[in-house]
Structure 1
Amino acid sequence: MDTEADGASRAERRARAEELLARYPGLAPDELAHLHRWFAREASALDVGLVASNEAVADRYAQYRRDHIDRLRPIDIVWGLAFGAVILGVIVFIGWWGA
């Protein structure tokens, strides 16, 4: 694999994401889906860091992050409650076993 060509295509995809972020939240549904896909599947930690540090899109990136990345989803709440129930069950079991 040609790493220079791969680096160039990564830079082009990152530039496309930055272009979309510059217009956020006024994106068409397919553009928003493209942005979601890029962050979820393509972007490396370096890509995200470069986008976050780009002053031209930093405010829009922060807004996108608040709206789509940092919020709790219902499944996150379910996993948290399940984890808490398991911990509580272990504590009750240890208390019962020791009695």
Structure 2
Amino acid sequence: MNETLKNEPIDPNEKGKERVDAWLRSQGLSTRESEIIKLRLGVDESSIFTLEEVGMMFKVNREHIRQIEAKALRKLGGDVNQVRETLQGILRGSEQKE
């Protein structure tokens, strides 16, 4: 899991957020895993959060967040860039239908 995160947040709308949440649930992610993935990839927010920042939000250390993120990424196929592209596609798809 040495992929680097791009520093550009995803700009969602409400329908896009709902579709992302539904897709993450359908992939078997827990609520906590989903929230961490969205924070780390910049979904629902105007910026991408660091492991340290997410750890502070969840009141755990950054290593624990890294482990949760790694487990979630494995469930999603393992490649952070591919997951990010999938989430962007889900969001773009919902924008086109509005």
Please say which structure displays the higher CA radius of gyration.
1
- TM-score, length of structure 2 as denominator length: 0.28
The higher relative CO (CA closer than 8 Å, separation ≥ 6) is in: 2
Higher helix share: 1
TM-score normalised per structure 1:
0.28
